[in-house]
Chain A
Amino acid sequence: MIDPETIARSKEAAERWKKEYERIVGRFGDATPEAAKTPTTHSGLPIRSCYFPHDVESISFDEIGAPGAYPFTRGNLPVQYQLMPWANQPVIGYGLPEHTRARMDLLAEKGMVGYFGQRFYNLVYDLVSHEGLDPDHPAARGRVGQCGMAVYSVQDMARLCEGLDLEKMNVVHITYYQVIPALAQYIAYAERRGVAQANLRGNSMNWYHQSAYVGMSAFPPEQGLKLATELISYCSKHMPRWNTTNLFCYGIEEAGGTAIQEIALMLAFGIELAEACKKAGLEADNFLPRFGFQISQANDFFEEIAKIRAFRRIWAKTMHDRLGARDPRSMHVRIHSHTSGASLTAQQPLVNLIRTTIHALGAALAGTQAMEVSSYDEALSIPTEEAATLALRVAQVISEETNITAVTDALAGSWYLESLTNQIADAALALVTEVEAHGGYVAAQRKGWIRAEVERSADRWRELVDSGKRRVVGLNCYQTNQDTERPIFRVDPEVERVAAERIRALRAERDEVRWGTAMRKFEDVAARFAKKDVSNLGDDELMLAAIEAARCDATTGEMMHVLKQSLGWGPPHEH
């Protein structure tokens, strides 16, 4: 990339610089900080204290290219933020559907919009529905409407979306493993409103793969892969505007994984899922354009940006070379950035505003499509209205006031950044190879290998922080003795009572016969599904039966019970 004369001069300059650098640093002897001698990124990659042109000598320009051109290192599209900034999509969801709806309306008023001014709602379901239970289950006590919205039926969907134009909005259903029941209920609701499935815009998570690094009860991973494939198969045929899968990179970082593990593990899973979909009879260009990615933006400013550029490159190349993707949209990494929650502290919580600002800046410089900025009170409780608004303001100040939106991939060409992007890409691909040596993502998960790898990183981080080698302001340096009691957001206990009452009323009032028939059919189909191989999917039987059950007012708990019985359910890890 650089002409030979500049290379020669660069090397000379670097030599001279290095001598001087080492002379100054050498004065400190044993007291020299490690970062001055052997700097590394937070994920442990060795870096230099200063970069020069010759450091990018071996990188071909084709690896970098232009925004919107394969391999999309610099961005998916030629235009980045010049026409409109990234979408600000905080996650909302708490209490009863009508409470969530109130927050949806409030934030829309305050400027939260999606692409081209469309309404965009990032809705998280509550813990009870994540666990696949109904709100009147004994284990639901104290948890209904906590950390998410209490939505368990088509009627709850109605309470949530009444009066909204379903065809002009994008609804993201942030579920855990109750993906299919939630989608089935949304489809059934739309039907009642006279809206065709084909016109619905939204996202399903298809997050079964997260059971490799997250500690809740889950379906067995091989069954999860099939469930994900089933939904993709159905939506590819009937819901062309529906985003089927969110690759949950963020969860890996939150569980303690490094930047490299985050992208490598999700690439490995993406490969396995894409291959499963092909076995089920789908074409790569059919389903890949509907994959989305939720990626963390954490502390190491440059590593996090390089991580995203590297990921775009290796995803595009892999999908092209191995999965036969030809449509550029199949090769794009559509990113929803989530600023790191794990980096935030409970101590001096307002300092988290500073952290999230830096994270958000990094995500913007990396060219993300959408962003969710963590609220500063993350480590204390779910966000108060004030905290949620401030989080939105972080993104708005960056997009409105800093002028970084005028230039696409502004940091490209930085010798450090291009060097680091390459380093990360190589390290990630090596890890993908390792995963595949174990038989692929699902096999590696079943062995406990993925969990062990992520946990190893988590332990290393813990050691670094405990020993003071990794400094965290307020935690192991610059501590204060102040006990900050900030207003805590509490869910009204009435929520539980009302939700339980509603579900009981639903069960009493629905057509028992229709419901019974639909549930029996769903049970039969689920039992067969459990034994099917991925290559026998494609008839979408399970999805169809789920939608019919939802039409007959089956609840989330009831539908999940059927799936749990047939597919298995339990703690995701052996040890």
Chain B
Amino acid sequence: MERRIRVLLTKPTHDCHDRGVRHLARRLRDGGFEVIFINFLLAQEIVDAAIQEDVDVIGVSSSSGGHMVVFQDLMQGLQRAGVDDMLVIGGGVIPDEDARELQTLGVKRIFGPGSSAESLVTFIQENAATS
């Protein structure tokens, strides 16, 4: 039996831009991760899914705005549930100044448009807690 890094990859239900995220899901699988891909309406759904699936990484893609609320709710929800060992990263169309603020909330890194899948795979391999 082997240990695998489990990643929850998600985007808001109404983000029609899911081409990048779906491609990313496949590339993460190729990188050896187990990838659970869902759409979410409310950030609490991400928290619940992350706990049930016991993931190591939560990746949230947002390309239609509204990301500040999502990440704020997500980080609060994780905190309330007592989860402090999941790596939270973001991606999509997120302006630099928002990305900086998100990092202060605990989002480890934002991968902007044009980021390579390899850099993400490497980042996860190096930063996901392996307990």
Contact = CB atoms under 8 A, between A and B. Distances in A.
Q: Are A and B close enough to touch in the complex, i.e. CB under 8 Å? A: yes
Interface of A: 127-128, 130-131, 138-139, 141-143, 146-147, 176, 214-217, 251, 254-256, 342, 345-347, 379-382, 455, 458-459, 462, 466, 475, 483, 485, 488, 491, 571
Given A215-B16, A345-B114, 5 more contacts: A141-B66, A215-B22, A254-B17, A346-B114, A459-B26
Interface string B56-95: 0000000011111110010000000000000000000101
A216 B23 contact: no
Contacts of B69: 141-143
Contact of B93 (A139, A254, A347, A379): A379
Given A127-B14, A217-B39, A458-B23, A142 B70 contact: yes
A217 B41 CA distance: 10
Interface residues of B, number: 33
A89 B119 CA distance: 39
B15 A485 contact: no
Which 10 A-B pairs rank lowest in CB-CB distance, beginning with the nearest?
A142-B69, A215-B18, A142-B66, A143-B66, A146-B65, A139-B41, A131-B14, A127-B14, A346-B113, A214-B16
B96 interface: yes
A483 B68 CA distance: 22
Interface of A is mostly: loop
Contact of A382 (B39, B41, B42, B65): B65
Contacts of B22: 215, 455
A381 B113 contact: no
Contact of A127 (B66, B96, B117): B66
A235 B3 CA distance: 59
Interface of B: 11-19, 21-23, 26, 39, 41-42, 64-70, 73, 93, 95-97, 112-114, 116-117
Among B21, B70, B93, B97, chain A packs the most CB atoms within 10 A around the CB of B93
A216 B14 contact: yes
A483 B22 CA distance: 27
A565 B97 CA distance: 41
A345 B93 CA distance: 11
B93 A381 contact: yes
A355 to B, nearest CB: 15
A216 B65 contact: no
Given A217-B13, A346-B112, A381 B39 contact: no
Contacts of A214: 16, 18
23 contacts: A127-B14, A127-B65, A128-B14, A142-B67, A142-B70, A143-B65, A176-B16, A214-B18, A215-B15, A215-B16, A215-B22, A215-B39, A216-B14, A216-B16, A256-B19, A345-B113, A346-B113, A346-B114, A347-B114, A379-B113, A458-B19, A485-B97, A488-B95
B13 A142 contact: no
Most buried by B among A216, A255, A346, A458: A216
Nearest to B26: A459
A381 B95 contact: yes
A138 B41 CA distance: 9
Nearest to A346: B113
A303 to B, nearest CB: 20
Contact of A147 (B13, B65, B95, B116): B65
Contacts of B18: 214-215
B13 A216 contact: yes
A248 B41 CA distance: 25
A254 B42 contact: no
Given A217-B39, A255-B19, A485-B97, A130 B113 contact: no
A487 to B, nearest CB: 10
Nearest to B37: A575
A24 to B, nearest CB: 36
Given A346-B112, A380-B93, A459-B26, A131 B66 contact: no
Contacts of A216: 13-16, 39
A245 B38 CA distance: 30
A405 B29 CA distance: 51
Q: Which of B14, B17, B41, B113: most chain A CB closer than 10 A?
A: B14
Contacts of B95: 380-381, 485, 488
A368 B11 CA distance: 35
A147 B66 CA distance: 10
B64 A146 contact: yes
Nearest to A211: B16
A139 B65 contact: no
Contacts of B116: 466
A146 B114 contact: no
